[in-house]
Structure 1
Amino acid sequence: MQVDDIDRAILAVLKNDARVSMTALAEAVHISRAGAHARVRKLVDSGVIVNFTVRTDPVRAGTHASAYVTLLIDQTGWQEVRERLSAIPEVEHIALVGGDFDVLLLVRAADNSHLRRVVLEDIQSVPWVRNTRTILIFEDFGGGPAPKLVGAP
């Protein structure tokens, strides 16, 4: 499927609020309601839109400790590593990457003690994991608009 400017505008609106009504979506991208519905259906059917999801505030959801964890792994076991990491509930995102490390994880836990257990016991016990590095997240902007600073206009 060829994605055009209208489709990109639709995707931008849906990324911001996947629960937007078709009427509001159509108004936002300046097309008819039927046109918006047909385009969303086409984006879903073609696999451009994989699913509609909820983005949460990690702290309000009870995960007060978050970290990116990088892994060096034996390349021969990457598929098994992915499967085992997917089974760890605290692992929110897994990316196979190129560069100084092989895998990048986003891990969220109730607190630092819980995060430590996940990294040292759950992740490091996965066969083929040779080394981990943990990068604590002090503040998470969640990929949305940057938060307004206190006193900023």
Structure 2
Amino acid sequence: MDLDRIDFALLRLLRKNARMPNKALAERVGIAPSTALERVRRLREARAIEGYHAEIAPAAVGIGLQALVAVRLARHSRELVDGFHDHLLRLPEVLAFYHLAGADDFLVHVGVRDAEHLRDFALTAFTERPEVAHIETRLIFEFRRNPELPVYRRAEA
């Protein structure tokens, strides 16, 4: 999909506030509301916009501690990697994860109640799995998502 400067402007605005009303989007970008609506629909259909989410305060849902867990697999095969990936998707404590190149294979962002919950979760979710060779846990003191969107493609004319 070729994106122009209007598309990039819409994506930036929606990244900062996915609930921005269509009329406000149109005004900020300098297009008609019907044009903004059609462009956002087209961006969704082309999967330039993959979804919308609400940023939830962790404490509001009982998350008192967050951590990043680096996971190293014992062996690498499509079956083991895909199986571990699917395992992570089934764990409610997993907020996000990254499949990596380098010394560690996965970096897993978890949200738990407290240190005891983290210990029990790490033992059950990672160390008891035969494909896991090593884990290393780092506590998160603060998490902020950058609302800015880096754009590395040029807008089409």
TM-score, normalized by the shorter chain, greater than 0.5: yes
Name the residue aligned to 1:29: 29
Name the residue aligned to 1:4: 4
User: Is the Cα–Cα contact under 8 Å of residues 93 and 112 in structure 2 kept in the other structure?
Assistant: yes
Aligned partners of 2:99, 2:125: CA distance in 1, in Å? 18
Name the residue aligned to 1:122: 125
Amino acid at match of 2:31: I
Is residue 91 from structure 1 mapped to residue 94 from structure 2 by the alignment? yes
Say which is worse superposed, 119-128 or 35-44, in terms of deviation: 119-128
Name the residue aligned to 1:63: 63
Q: Among residues 130, 133, 138, which one is paired with 2:136 in the alignment?
A: 133
The Cα offsets for residues 70-120 of structure 1, whole Å up to 9 and x where unpaired, read as 110121110001011111110111211112211111101111111111112
Count of aligned residue pairs for this structure pair = 145
**TM-score, structure 1 normalization:** 0.88
Q: Among residues 106, 110, 114, which one is paired with 1:111 in the alignment?
A: 114
The Cα offsets for residues 41-96 of structure 1, whole Å up to 9 and x where unpaired, read as 01100111111111112223321100111110121110001011111110111211
Alignment gaps of 5+ in structure 2: 149-157
Aligned partners of 1:112, 1:142: CA distance in 2, in Å? 24
Work out the percentage of aligned pairs sharing the same amino acid.
Answer: 31
Of structures 1 and 2, the one scoring higher in RCO (CA 8 A, sep 6+) is: 2
Output the aligned Cα RMSD. 1.5
Alignment gaps of 5+ in structure 1: 146-153
Aligned partners of 2:58, 2:125: CA distance in 1, in Å? 21
- Report the CA distance shift for 1:124/1:5 in structure 2 as closer, same or farther (over 3 A): farther
The ranges of structure 1 where at least 4 consecutive aligned residues each deviate by more than 4 angstroms after the TM superposition are: none
User: Is the Cα–Cα contact under 8 Å of residues 63 and 111 in structure 2 kept in the other structure?
Assistant: yes
